[in-house]
């Protein structure tokens, strides 16, 4: 199986031993308490679950600036985005001390991790804007990722962490949430060698379904990992539980049995376009996948990124040999009226826009809210039914 990024074995930061975890929980009660923001909590989940291998905790300012500028930490570990614990108040936090990190997303703010503080540094406005410019490629306050990043806290608290739980993901999405370790284990149990991953924060329509099948055939994969983001999204995005139900219905009826793993991961969406596409590749490698589908405007939002910038970054900015996972570069896919099937647009140069079944997101939402059926060429009826129920009760 493909090796994790940066090490021979995956090194998740979740404390798996029951006795050790109980002892850590007891210790946490006597430590300084910090309720972290949602981004830092999601980072703890991803560190605990092995997705951010080989990191051992939150980055310091030098790492964050180096990652933004060069896609490597200060000591040369390839990583595409800063992984930070940012707070507004550092009173009671000391370098060298241990602190209990409390979860903002669960009632009662239980301890999610214990951190050993390596440094406490102020993030200046100038440094923050340097990071934003590189990671998000825009400083527009209307960009949801930029807006969130600017509000995360004035101080960077860096250092190694030990993770106690996976926040709300393990309970609210018990059927779907999986750690990178669990996914690697299941891939091994299935005997899959070549695995193509599909990243989604949306329900899957016909084009997504066929794209997965095309990619599987093109790379001669043993199976497909449909891997959905389960964390926080911008207003208007489909909630994770609705998306989960719709994807399961699609796979049950329209994919061959035992060819798909439906899983999810506990992370908040960054909407960072190309940089987030690289991050997606990194943690799919940590899951054991050999290929990641990167399509049009992968991880994008609005008109901030060019249609294929998320593919171009792998050729233009990611140093050769940084990742072992391969990218399956996909074009926009849509149903061809001429051919009676879903195709990639680049494969049919004789087609015009009128030859495809194309619906904007706005049009789809309006149709579903009005109780109108989506064309079967665009969405499977089973999926459309679930989405219609969501929009009519939202």
Catalytic residue annotation:
201-202
Cis peptide before 300 (omega within 30 of 0): no
Backbone angles phi, psi at 220, to 5 degrees: 55, 50
299: left (phi over 0), alpha (psi -120 to 50) or beta: left
- Asked if 78 and 103 count as a contact pair (C-beta separation under 8 A), the reply is no
Report how far residue 93's alpha carbon sits from residue 119's, in angstroms, rounded to the nearest whole number. 10
Residue given tokens 């980055």 in the structure block = 59
Q: Which long-range contacts (CB under 8 A, 24 or more apart) does 333-340 make?
A: 333/207, 333/208, 333/210, 333/211, 333/214, 333/295, 334/207, 334/358, 335/206, 335/207, 335/375, 335/377, 335/378, 337/377
- Asked if 251 and 53 count as a contact pair (C-beta separation under 8 A), the reply is no
Quick one: 20 exposed, middle or buried, by C-beta within 10 A (0-12, 13-18, 19+)?
exposed
* Number of other residues whose CB lies within 10 A of the CB of residue 108: 6
Tell me the CA distances in angstroms from 385 to 8, 78, 253, 372, 382, one per residue in order: 45, 43, 14, 10, 5
- Asked if 36 and 85 count as a contact pair (C-beta separation under 8 A), the reply is yes
Q: Which residues, other chains included, contact 1 with Cβ-Cβ below 8 Å and sequence gap of 6+?
A: 184, 187, 188, 193, 288
Report how far residue 65's alpha carbon sits from residue 55's, in angstroms, rounded to the nearest whole number. 16
Q: Which residues, other chains included, contact 81 with Cβ-Cβ below 8 Å and sequence gap of 6+?
A: 67, 135, 270, 272, 275, 276, 279
């Amino acid at each position: 199986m493909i090796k994790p990024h940066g090490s021979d074995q995956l090194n998740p930061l979740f404390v798996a031993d029951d006795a050790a975890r109980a002892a850590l929980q007891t210790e946490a009660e006597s430590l300084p308490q910090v309720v972290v923001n949602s981004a830092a909590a999601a980072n703890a989940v991803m560190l605990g679950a092995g997705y951010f291998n080989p990191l051992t905790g939150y980055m310091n300012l030098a790492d964050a600036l180096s990652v933004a500028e060069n896609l490597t930490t200060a000591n040369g570990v390839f990583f595409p985005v800063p992984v930070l614990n940012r707070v507004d108040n550092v009173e009671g936090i000391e370098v060298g001390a241990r602190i209990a990190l409390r979860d903002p997303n669960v009632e009662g703010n239980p301890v999610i991790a214990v951190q050993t503080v390596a440094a406490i540094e102020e993030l200046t406005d100038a440094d923050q804007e340097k990071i934003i410019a590189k990671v998000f490629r825009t400083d527009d306050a209307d960009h949801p990722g930029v807006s969130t990043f600017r509000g995360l806290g004035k101080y960077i608290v860096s250092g190694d962490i030990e993770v106690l739980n996976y926040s709300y993901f393990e309970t609210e999405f018990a059927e779907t949430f999986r750690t990178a370790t669990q996914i690697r284990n299941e891939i091994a149990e299935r005997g899959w060698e070549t695995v193509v991953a599909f990243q989604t924060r949306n329900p899957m329509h016909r084009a997504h379904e066929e794209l997965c099948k095309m990619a599987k055939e093109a790379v001669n994969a043993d199976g497909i990992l449909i891997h959905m983001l389960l964390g926080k999204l911008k207003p208007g995005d489909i909630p994770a539980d609705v998306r989960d139900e719709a994807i399961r219905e699609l796979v049950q009826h329209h994919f061959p049995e035992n060819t798909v793993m439906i899983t999810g991961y506990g992370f908040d969406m960054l909407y960072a376009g190309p940089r987030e596409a690289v991050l997606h590749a990194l943690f799919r490698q940590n899951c054991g996948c050999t290929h990641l589908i990167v399509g049009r405007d992968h991880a994008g939002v609005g008109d901030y990124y060019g249609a294929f910038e998320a593919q171009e970054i792998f050729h233009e900015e990611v140093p050769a040999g940084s990742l072992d996972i391969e990218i399956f570069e996909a074009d926009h896919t849509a149903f061809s009226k001429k051919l009676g099937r879903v195709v990639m647009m680049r494969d049919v140069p004789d087609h015009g826009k009128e030859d495809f079944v194309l619906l904007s997101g706005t049009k789809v939402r309006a149709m579903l809210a009005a109780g109108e059926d989506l064309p079967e060429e665009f969405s499977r009826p089973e999926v459309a039914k679930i989405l219609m129920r969501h929009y009519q009760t939202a």
